[in-house]
Chain A
Amino acid sequence: MRSSSVGWLFLTPTFFVLFVFGVVPFLYVLVIGFTQWNSFAADPTMHFVWAENFRRLVFDEPFLRSLWLTLKFAVFAVVGEVVLGYFLAQFFMRDFPGKGFFRTLHTLPLVVAPIAVGATWRLLTVPGLGPLPYYLDRWFGYEFNIGRYPSQAFAATVVMDIWHWTPLVTLTLLAALSAMPKEPFEQAQIDGANRFQMFWHITLPLLKPAILATVFIRLMDALRTVDEVWMLTGGGPASATRYIGLYIWRVVFPKTDYGYGSAMSLLTLYLTVVMCWLLYAALVARRDLRRPE
C-alpha cells in the first residue's frame, strides 16, 4: 500500500474545517454544560456547578417527556418513510411511459427548504385559511385544528416529515434495487416461490444494508428537526410537539439558561451518537462479512 502520509494529507482540510467549526463549539458546549450561566440574569457570571445540570436533567419531567416525544416522532416518521419509500422505489423499477417525469415530480419535496415546508403545511392547516380544516369540516363534520388537539398536531408533524423526506428514501432504495442481482429471483421463480416468499427471503436480506443506511441517515436528521416543526406548530399545543430541538432552543434563547441548555444538548447528542453507532456497527459488520479485507 502507498504511503499513508499522503492519505492523511488529503484528510487534513476536512479535519481542519470540522475541528474549527465542529469540535471547538462542541468543546465550548462541553464546558458550559458543567456551569451555571445566564448572562441576562442578576448574576451574569459563569459558575462551575459540576454535574448539577445533569442531575437536574434526570428529574426534569418536561425534558424527559420531550425526549420521549422526539423519539416517538422519529420512529413514526422514519418507519413511514421507509415503508412508503420502498413501495415507490419498487414501482419505479417498472417501465412505464413518463417514468423520468414522475420520478422528478416525486423528488420535488426534497428540494423545498424546511422552513418553507413548515410554512406550507401551516398554510394547509390554519383554520380559516387552510383547505384541510375547511373541507374536513364541510364534508365529514370532523374538527381538524392542530392548534387545539395534541394528537392531531403530532400526526401533522409526522405526516409533514414523511412528505418531505420519503423522496430521499425512495432514491436510495431505488439505487439499491437497481443494483440487485436477478439470478436469485429467477431461481426462486423456478422453485415456485410466491411473491411474499421472494420478498421475505431474497429482497429483504439483500436490501437490508440499504435500509439500515437509510434509517441511519433519516433517524439522525429526524432527531434534530427544528425549523419545520417550529414553523408548523411552534411546539404546541401545550407541549405536544415540543421536540428536543425546540425544547433546547427555548431554554437557550428565551430563557437564556445556557448551562442547562448545554447539558441537555450534550445528553441528547450522546444518546443520538449511541443509537446511530449501534446502527452503524450493524451496517459495518454486514459489510465486513461480505467483503473481508
Chain B
Amino acid sequence: MHRKRPLLSIAFWILSSFVTLAPIYWMFSVSAKSRVELFGSPSLIPKGFFKDNYLNVMSDPAFQRYMLNSIIVATSNALLVTILAVLATYALSRYKLAGKENIFFWTITNRMAPPAVFLLPLFLLYTQVFTIGEWKMFDTRIGLILLYCVFNLPFAIWTLRSIIDGIPRELDEAAYVDGANTWQVLTKVIIPLAKPGIAVTGILTWVFAWNEYLFAATLTSVHARTITTGLAEFVTVTGTNWGQMAATAMLTLVPALLVLGLVQRHIVAGLTFGAVKE
C-alpha cells in the first residue's frame, strides 16, 4: 500500500526499534558502569566499558555451575517436550479419539494454575514422596526438566496442533497405500513437513525453560540452581548489586538470542495457535 514511501517506513522502524531496544540498552549501560558511576546522575552513555561486572560474574564458579545447569535443563526439557508434543499432537490430529477437544483443552489447563501455591505441594512431593532410597527429586536437574513439562507441553501441543492439522490427509493416505506403517507416516511424512513449526515450538520451549524462575528458586538449593535464580540472588536485604545483576541479565540473553536467530526464518509460519486455516 505504501510502497512509494520507503523513507517513511524506515523512519517508523527506527523509531519503534528505539522503544523496543531502550530497556535492553539501559540494562547494558548499567552493566558497563562502575558502582561509583551508577549513583551519579543517570547518564545514558557509560563513560567507558567497566569490565569488572562481567569478569566478577563469569569468574565465579557458582555462576558457571548455574549456567551449565540452565543449559542442561533447558535443552533436555525442550527435547523431551518436543518429542512428547509431536506424538501427542499427531494422535490428536489423526486419530478418532473420544473427547478429543476436551483432552486438548485439558492439557492447557495445566498451564493456568497460579504457580505460587503449587510450589508447596511440589516442594513436599520433591522432598518427601518422589524418592528412591537416598535420592530425592529436590535440587536435581531431572526434577526441573520434568516439572517444566507441565507448562511447556501444553504450549507445544497448542502450537503444533494447527500445523499438523494443516498437513493434508491425502499425503498420509498416499503413504499408507504405498505400504507405510503409522510410524513411517509420522517420521517420513508428518515430521519433515511440520519441521518449521516443530523448530519454533522447540525453540520457544527452550526459551521458556531457560527463563523460568519461581520453581527453580524453590525446588533447588545448591546443585541444580539455574541462572535466573542466580540473577535474583543479587537482590539482598543489604541492597542490590545492580551492576552485576545487569551483567548477569545480559549474559542470560546471549544464548536466548542465538537460538532465536536459528529459527527467525520459520517463526512466523510456526506460531498460529490453531487459528490459521488455509
**Which residues from chain A sit less than 8 Å from chain B, CB to CB?**
1-2, 4, 6-11, 13-14, 17-18, 20-22, 24-26, 28-29, 32, 88, 91, 94-98, 100, 102-117, 119-121, 123-124, 128-131, 134, 163, 168, 171-172, 174-176, 178-179, 209-214, 216-217, 220-221, 223-224, 226-227, 231, 244-246, 248-249, 252-253, 258, 261-262, 264-265, 268-269, 272-273, 276-277, 280, 283-284, 287, 290-291
Q: Are A284 and B23 in contact (CB under 8 A)?
A: no
Return 19 A-B CB contacts under 8 Å, by A number: A4-B98, A7-B91, A8-B95, A10-B91, A14-B87, A18-B149, A25-B121, A28-B124, A116-B252, A163-B23, A168-B271, A175-B272, A210-B272, A212-B275, A214-B275, A216-B273, A221-B111, A226-B114, A226-B214
Q: Are B276 and A227 in contact (CB under 8 A)?
A: no
Q: Are B94 and A94 in contact (CB under 8 A)?
A: no
Query: A102-B13, A112-B256, A130-B42 given as contacts; is B107 within 8 A of A14 (CB)?
Result: yes
In the bound assembly, the distance between CA atoms of A207 and B211 in angstroms comes to: 30
Q: Are B13 and A114 in contact (CB under 8 A)?
A: no
Choose one: B97, B118, B261, B271; the contact of A171 (CB below 8 Å): B271
- CB contacts (< 8 Å) of A163 on chain B: these are 20, 23
Q: Are A11 and B17 in contact (CB under 8 A)?
A: no
Q: Which residue of A lies closest to B270 (CB)?
A: A175
Interface membership of B228, Cβ < 8 A:
yes
Between A and B, how many residue pairs show CB distances below 8 Å? 299
Interface membership of B112, Cβ < 8 A:
yes
B residues 84-108 near A (Cβ < 8 Å) are 84-85, 87-88, 90-92, 94-98, 101, 103, 105, 107-108
In the bound assembly, the distance between CA atoms of A28 and B144 in angstroms comes to: 19
In the bound assembly, the distance between CA atoms of A284 and B137 in angstroms comes to: 39
Choose one: B101, B116, B154, B231; the contact of A119 (CB below 8 Å): B231
Query: A88-B16, A120-B249, A220-B111 given as contacts; is B42 within 8 A of A129 (CB)?
Result: yes
- CB contacts (< 8 Å) of B150 on chain A: these are 17-18, 21-22
Interface membership of B55, Cβ < 8 A:
no
Interface membership of B267, Cβ < 8 A:
yes
Query: A116-B252, A119-B246 given as contacts; is B121 within 8 A of A172 (CB)?
Result: no
- Output the least CB separation between A47 and chain B (Å): 17
Instruction: Encode contact with A along B198-234: 1 for CB under 8 Å, 0 otherwise.
Output: 0000000001001101100000000000001001100
Q: Is the interface of B mostly helix, strand, loop or mixed?
A: helix
In the bound assembly, the distance between CA atoms of A223 and B157 in angstroms comes to: 21
Q: Are B23 and A264 in contact (CB under 8 A)?
A: no
In the bound assembly, the distance between CA atoms of A85 and B3 in angstroms comes to: 21
Q: Are A120 and B16 in contact (CB under 8 A)?
A: no
Q: Are B90 and A10 in contact (CB under 8 A)?
A: yes
Query: A32-B121, A121-B23, A214-B275 given as contacts; is B114 within 8 A of A284 (CB)?
Result: no
Choose one: A11, A103, A231, A290; the contact of B264 (CB below 8 Å): A103
In the bound assembly, the distance between CA atoms of A268 and B88 in angstroms comes to: 28
